[in-house]
Structure 1
């Protein structure tokens, strides 16, 4: 765990300010039951591996009862465990085991929408228009003759219209309900106090079971314009229009929710001194708007996605880092860096495109980016498998794809199955130790043969592996006062090179080009993402030095 630090002469340390959290996509981490799907007992079995890696905590993807239309982000019961993942007793065992190892546990909570199988939504379908049951969601009359057209022109995040028409209890075509993702995920109406009260009960249910906080899905969502007018950008791409639709996202009322949730967490902290964390998935246009979500009485953290989306270019990286440090860290908050998650193409492939399965260049860039991220002030989140250098699986056949984006658009563009393929742990053939099932048991998504090269048992044995780079970086980050929370100072460099100083003498530099350049610091680096001779910074390489005065 990160030590207490003195920053600018003041002890500002809270564990979350510079924590490194590992995202566990539960169904793809480790299967303990032999059904080909990862589960909570599998996560518990993998905790020693994560302890050895050196992370401060884990974030668990949704494991609640769900029809799995969007792999658990369609929640039917927020206060239980889906049998496919275990039960509450197993969850309690996981939390207890994590605490013994000094690993904090964050849960994924989904407040923007639920499952169409949620009891409250089933009640809404059975109730009449204008009823209290329907008021918990966004039901509206359609436009045009007989109300046959959607109430407005909004599109869903995963393709198609954001509205579905229901059949009323008497059998007639009726109202429409809003779903900013899929029809199986109706949006809650947060203008109804009953919705807010029920989510507070959910928070307290899990806090009472010992969790250390929550990752909040779609944290800029929740509130929609009360009149549900047409979007001003009706021709926007259906996959991304919701992120630029100011009527559906980033409404000002959402901040009151985070103030209340923060007060709930502070209440628990006051009882036992153990800080609980709220980290939001906040997708907004600018770092300045992002900063509003992490004001002192709102979310502790919000993922800063601009680094993830930046092209491999020194000027682009410097720009987004500078904006984050000015607009987010400048408020007294901490930047929450991320290079990947369960919705994005894996870093090796993203940086290696258009080469298939990433490339040697993509792998080198991914290692350099990881070292850069771990040197930046603030917190960092690592998506499972990134520490192994896993590439995106780009050739999954259509008949195994499960992403609702594929089902709703018929297109493979931006589908997310390729980064969710189950982890390889050992062996030379699938299932690579992922499942304890009988011979022939298949993981829920097929693993390619080349995953054998990335299995954890090989990674741990090879000191040149990405796993060792992450482990060594995390160890130094925890040991060195210059790293973690604080500030950075940019250093002058030649074009294509990014360099900054942290604290008293630590320098991180990244060569975004392919040709070697002179190193900004003499001497042997403390740590480098690839071979780094004294005095030289090779292409697609990052390194850390202590620059003695």
Structure 2
């Protein structure tokens, strides 16, 4: 794509127009998307077979959660070999074929990269433990002697995000108690020591390996966590971090991470086709997040502040303004998302927000009709905003959070640990339904059970049940993405202008386009401003005005 410079007076930085600045990127959770061999687990050949569906949906790129060799202690986010596909997902040839097919269909491919920690089965860590104190491989992680007379206490007071202490004690080769190692997540996920040059060298080669294979970019897992404060100082207070709000700490969002990403950006820029990197960066402020996407660093950062915004005009408008301003200051696009593999699906979460649980950390059952109505309106709002949008698999079907999974099937490593990340992430990871009237709804070829059980009600939400059905959520998403791609006012420029409306109504213009959303409790009447392009639900219209029910959005062409 030709680079165009935006020279508006209010632009703090000259902004090139590139594919990723307004892309719609669809997250695939590989184990839950499509199963090609009937073992109950999704895989790369299954994804490959469904790529035409994603092309027809209208997305620009797919992001694949990890499929590398892994013991699966944390669903693949514990990587044992970054250059090998885990056999449960297929082979390296399957990955190459998926990338080739996606490109043939006009889809780009972004893969997850996990640089904060490895698996405890990684060759480096296995040697570090087996060789004992003094092993040079221990310097590539954070090994420390314990405190107390016999070293029986952890080296500092840091907690794990998954619950319990962030330290586990090793056993020496002679059987005696040994040193401790740091893991900000599960004990099976030891943190790398990014002060060691071998770690930086290794990840530069990993980047090149996948770029040479043809991937279009990387989503950087825990991008804010690689660098820890010198000396690993105590927090000094009893606390429990949560993935959604770690705040200011000695092991997250340290300034040293930016040198790492500058070196990665130089590698990405060597390759043709605008290869990108996206930061999963949880930081205390939007301005701190924006630092990850300065012109010589990464390209995008997830906007988790928006994900947790309340469903009301004041909060939405404030967060949208703040997000656009923070990214505008560094010349980066804003990003928007409502769901992903770590949070409660927004069909549930947005209603839970009415009870003060904006983050939806402990999912509860909600009225499915009301939840879907609000979710559809929120999706049209999100897709109308300037910048790049991220969709999570199944949201285009209106899938709700599964809140009643029995304990024995849950695999979130935090579920059985004390406190910490609440352990309820399995509810958004249930395999999606494709067709049929009983589980697994076409997820696999032989009708066997999927790795997580699917609800009976999902027969009505399958792709086949919604295909070409006017008013279905799948039809709504396809229509919205087609309009977003074709309407001249919905491209990359940051061109949002607020428009006053009745109480409870949020509305804004972009060039030749208006989005109006009723976030209030009752129906409202708004003046007709042009042709209605799309509505998230039924509306009453006459020549002069349109009546919007509560939790309904409409797009207009002006």
TM-score, normalisation: structure 2: 0.93
d(CA) in 2 for partners of 1:145, 1:34: 54
- Give 1:520 shift: 4.7
Unaligned runs of 5+ in 1: none
Q: 1:6 to 1:254 in 2, by over 3 A?
A: closer
Structure 2 matches for 1:454-469, cutoff 5 A? 454-469=461-476
CA distances 1:37-90 after superposition (whole Å, capped 9, x unpaired): 000000000101000000001000100010000000000000010011000111
d(CA) in 2 for partners of 1:452, 1:430: 8
Structure 1 position 404 matched with structure 2 position 403: no
Q: Which moved more, 1:512-521 or 1:395-404?
A: 512-521
Structure 2 matches for 1:263-274, cutoff 5 A? 263-269=266-272, 274=273
Instruction: Say whether the 8 Å CA contact 1:39–1:85 is kept in structure 2.
Output: yes
Structure 2 matches for 1:4-153, cutoff 5 A? 12-153=16-157
Q: Find the residue that maps to 2:150 and give its secondary structure.
A: helix
d(CA) in 2 for partners of 1:206, 1:531: 46
Q: Find the residue that maps to 1:218 and give its secondary structure.
A: coil
Structure 2 matches for 1:316-465, cutoff 5 A? 316-353=315-352, 356-409=365-418, 413-437=422-446, 439=447, 441-465=448-472
Q: 1:512 to 1:325 in 2, by over 3 A?
A: same
Structure-2 residue corresponding to 1:525: 532
Q: Find the residue that maps to 2:240 and give its secondary structure.
A: coil
TM-score, normalisation: structure 1: 0.95
Instruction: Say whether the 8 Å CA contact 2:242–2:420 is kept in structure 1.
Output: no
CA distances 1:184-224 after superposition (whole Å, capped 9, x unpaired): 00000000000000011111111110100000000111011
CA distances 1:132-183 after superposition (whole Å, capped 9, x unpaired): 2100000011111201000000000110000000001121111100000000
Q: 1:494 to 1:377 in 2, by over 3 A?
A: same
Structure 1 position 176 matched with structure 2 position 180: yes
CA distances 1:412-456 after superposition (whole Å, capped 9, x unpaired): 94510000000100000001000113x4x1100001101101100
CA distances 1:327-357 after superposition (whole Å, capped 9, x unpaired): 1123211011111100010111112337725
Q: Find the residue that maps to 2:63 and give its secondary structure.
A: strand
Q: 1:91 to 1:302 in 2, by over 3 A?
A: same
d(CA) in 2 for partners of 1:241, 1:442: 32
Structure 1 position 475 matched with structure 2 position 474: no
Instruction: Say whether the 8 Å CA contact 2:245–2:284 is kept in structure 1.
Output: no
Structure-1 residue corresponding to 2:510: 502
Instruction: Say whether the 8 Å CA contact 1:212–1:277 is kept in structure 2.
Output: yes
CA distances 1:75-120 after superposition (whole Å, capped 9, x unpaired): 0000010011000111111111101100000000000001000000
Structure-1 residue corresponding to 2:189: 185
Instruction: Say whether the 8 Å CA contact 2:162–2:421 is kept in structure 1.
Output: no
d(CA) in 1 for partners of 2:550, 2:295: 41
- Give 1:538 shift: 2.1
d(CA) in 2 for partners of 1:165, 1:261: 33
Root-mean-square deviation (Å): 1.9
Unaligned runs of 5+ in 2: 9-13, 356-363
Q: Find the residue that maps to 1:526 and give its secondary structure.
A: strand
Q: 1:206 to 1:459 in 2, by over 3 A?
A: same
Instruction: Say whether the 8 Å CA contact 2:168–2:187 is kept in structure 1.
Output: yes
Structure 1 position 256 matched with structure 2 position 259: yes
Instruction: Say whether the 8 Å CA contact 1:357–1:391 is kept in structure 2.
Output: no
Instruction: Say whether the 8 Å CA contact 1:375–1:484 is kept in structure 2.
Output: no
Number of equivalences: 538
Q: Find the residue that maps to 2:540 and give its secondary structure.
A: coil
Structure-1 residue corresponding to 2:11: none
